[in-house]
Structure 1
């Protein structure tokens, strides 16, 4: 199944040789790319290795801490003979030279050779790159919402990719900057209830994404002593906004993946391509971490637009907003080369839960009616089936609620049953 070692293939018996594995990945990245197979002896016979529960995570952390720039290989586990093998594949780096353990290596035949000083200088001259968002672009239409604040000439040679990504009316050049969001049925990303992709300017995406999330999560009304009705969402909107802006500003745009917002029955996750900078500890993000911007120009544009006020305090605000809303503090993790923020729904109970069953039923009905009004306001074309999925009740139950709202002159139907719209009176 696996051939002998070559310019693009290295065989290792186990992760006990993790240092050699990392050096080989760096050497491949400095040349034409390649693959390391872990779990195979030098002669091609199976080592019958069993992958431990944390083996991959431990290796990825070691790779992250000992490569510069950080390498992001693809990692696949496969069953082979009586054990398992792990295929670790890396593409040629666009940011040569890649250093491993503070040295640079290159693959020559079956061997990893330390780069000479002359070769290092050649690489540095050839692959000297400015930051991705600092590179020059031009000729694009600016979103009218930002024309007054950002008075730039898109035909000028001084317009950067950051300007394009943040201010353009429609992103047609960088597919990795498209943001995807979905509401799934249950707690796994299998069955879609609702999904959407946003390809406008980054500054406009934040509000659009918040609107989509609000359409797909629960809320209740709380009446203050002054009889003011306030919406209490199962996820704090302040925290969601901070997390979304953090992803838009700090993600790795050299990664071909997209920012994803995944809404499940029991959680909401925001996936941002790219791992945290080595200087940040994922276990202490809730404290006031220092800001280490990956995309300085994008961050500056968000700052000028008023979307970022205090740099380096976003995670602290996310945690505080969750606590204030009676949510658990978020869980931060790194998965498949992405930084993931996972939030759990609010722990607040419905105030009607301690009342009699009849009153509880009435309250539940009123609550469903309020939610239907909210969803209709957000999407006048919403269907009965979509409402049923969002409310987690039967279509018959939705029809009863709609009939009640029409009877009370709160809504009306315009147009045909199919293709028509709802109007709030």
Structure 2
């Protein structure tokens, strides 16, 4: 007979005791606590153990001596078969076994190393990587032009910041000091040369003809506040095509991807990067997609599967995220990925995807390649689909219903907004389409 449990983050079954299971107890303590059962198989069937009295005698001391933990051990019985229940509480100090640290990930016990170990230890002591001081860094290394730029950007959310002329006092207000030392966040946000301290903090942009064939590339260095604008300027001027249209005498230019979505993705990547990871932010531009690779350690409370759903904000670098919010780079906490998706859909593009592999988040933007276009140069696209008429608009609505007028206009950038509206009115008058729902959330349907 089995007990009514399954193996999970907080439950593990073992048939007999082995000292290697001290790793499991260590992992429970370093995670959220858990229960280790001895005398059960993987299906939770009670097999029983014969030397239960001996284990009850020796295990408390062994666990205490080897791990420094005091655990609760209970003798259980089911259908005359004895088994042990070892309850482990979460600890607030890190626990090691033979000099190594373990945590639970799902129903597995994993060893921490590298950046994951560093971040685990910082978290146990109530710190994040960006909140640690860097004793070598001084005020003289702060870029004053970036400070002035920040003050102008932040005047709406922190109105009194524009009048703060004392550099040290300003940085203290931003929580970038601890005692007499500046924090790592100050280096990445405002340093003249942050790569002197963290060489991996630069970004790369490249145009790829295939996964291995690169045509051109750029390296973006400097502090993160400046990197945001530099990355977007390089993408816009060198790597991305722009569709040109005219409304009367006014020239309209639209990038092949929505600018606001790209901006949100770049800012998210810079804020959530795991800067203990030796890789840098990479932006790869292909003929049919744009991919951002960003070294990151995901918070278990916000797995990659939740990126396309409303979720709470858990910034990996909260000190930096706070500064980015104050200067208007972040508009809504926890809605960055949702905004990216909505911007792309409104633009008439496929839904972007978010994946996590090899300790990196991969964000992929897709563009439609079925438009009849001719491209002039690497950064300017002139759409020649001038023959698109009301029938093409009707077919597009049929294939993408419900759809809003803005999304139709974004999909056909060569057609003016006024013409789109005229086509929609014609289709409504001909009783071919109808608008369903309320103005803010509804859309057009084909009849």
So what's the TM-score if we normalise by structure 1? 0.54
Matched, 1:223 2:246: yes
Secondary structure in structure 2 of the residue aligned to 1:232 = strand
Q: Report the Cα distance in structure 1 between the residues aligned to 2:108 and 2:119, rounded to whole angstroms.
A: 12
Cα displacement (A) at 1:95:
5.6
Aligned to 2:270: 248
Kept in 2, the 8 Å contact 1:32–1:92? The answer is no
Q: Report the Cα distance in structure 2 between the residues aligned to 1:265 and 1:241, rounded to whole angstroms.
A: 20
Secondary structure in structure 2 of the residue aligned to 1:256 = coil
Aligned to 1:335: 357
Cα displacement (A) at 1:132:
1.3
Q: Report the Cα distance in structure 2 between the residues aligned to 1:71 and 1:180, rounded to whole angstroms.
A: 31
Q: Which runs of 5+ in 2 are unaligned?
A: 1-19, 28-66, 68-94, 152-160, 172-176, 383-447
Kept in 1, the 8 Å contact 2:291–2:364? The answer is yes
Provide, for residues 351-370 of structure 1, a one-character-per-residue CA deviation record: whole Å limited to 9, x for no partner: xx6xxxxxxxxxx4xx5179
Aligned to 1:131: 128
Secondary structure in structure 1 of the residue aligned to 2:355 = strand
Aligned to 1:141: 141
Q: What is the 5 A alignment of 1:194-273? A: 194-214=216-236, 215-224=238-247, 226-273=248-295
Secondary structure in structure 2 of the residue aligned to 1:292 = coil
Kept in 2, the 8 Å contact 1:33–1:91? The answer is no
Q: Report the Cα distance in structure 2 between the residues aligned to 1:31 and 1:94, rounded to whole angstroms.
A: 18
Secondary structure in structure 1 of the residue aligned to 2:350 = coil
Distance verdict in 2 for CA 1:268–1:133, change over 3 Å:
same
Aligned to 2:191: 168
Distance verdict in 2 for CA 1:336–1:222, change over 3 Å:
same
Q: What is the 5 A alignment of 1:3-402? A: 31=98, 64-65=105-106, 93-94=117-118, 128=125, 130-137=127-134, 138-139=137-138, 140-148=140-148, 149=151, 152-153=167-168, 157-171=180-194, 172-186=196-210, 188=211, 190-214=212-236, 215-224=238-247, 226-346=248-368, 349-350=371-372, 364=374, 368=376, 371=379
Q: Report the Cα distance in structure 1 between the residues aligned to 2:132 and 2:380, rounded to whole angstroms.
A: 47
Kept in 1, the 8 Å contact 2:243–2:381? The answer is no
Cα displacement (A) at 1:173:
0.2
Q: Report the Cα distance in structure 1 between the residues aligned to 2:24 and 2:306, rounded to whole angstroms.
A: 30
Distance verdict in 2 for CA 1:279–1:93, change over 3 Å:
closer
Cα displacement (A) at 1:66:
5.7
Kept in 1, the 8 Å contact 2:272–2:317? The answer is yes
Kept in 2, the 8 Å contact 1:165–1:202? The answer is yes
Cα displacement (A) at 1:323:
0.8
Provide, for residues 167-218 of structure 1, a one-character-per-residue CA deviation record: whole Å limited to 9, x for no partner: 11221101222222211123x0x22222122220101101111122221122
Q: Report the Cα distance in structure 1 between the residues aligned to 2:112 and 2:252, rounded to whole angstroms.
A: 45
Provide, for residues 22-80 of structure 1, a one-character-per-residue CA deviation record: whole Å limited to 9, x for no partner: 9599699855669xxxxxxxxxxxxxxxxxxxxxxxxxxx9744689x8677xxxxxxx
Distance verdict in 2 for CA 1:313–1:71, change over 3 Å:
farther
Between 140-149 and 297-306, report the one with greater CA deviation: 140-149
Cα displacement (A) at 1:128:
3.8
Distance verdict in 2 for CA 1:30–1:218, change over 3 Å:
farther
So what's the TM-score if we normalise by structure 2? 0.52
Q: Which runs of 5+ in 1 are unaligned?
A: 1-18, 35-61, 74-89, 99-123, 354-363, 375-425
Q: Report the Cα distance in structure 2 between the residues aligned to 1:257 and 1:32, rounded to whole angstroms.
A: 27
**Count of matched residue pairs:** 269
Q: Report the Cα distance in structure 2 between the residues aligned to 1:320 and 1:301, rounded to whole angstroms.
A: 25
Cα displacement (A) at 1:228:
2.0
Distance verdict in 2 for CA 1:96–1:278, change over 3 Å:
closer
Cα displacement (A) at 1:265:
2.1
- Pairwise CA RMSD of aligned residues? 3.9
Cα displacement (A) at 1:166:
0.7
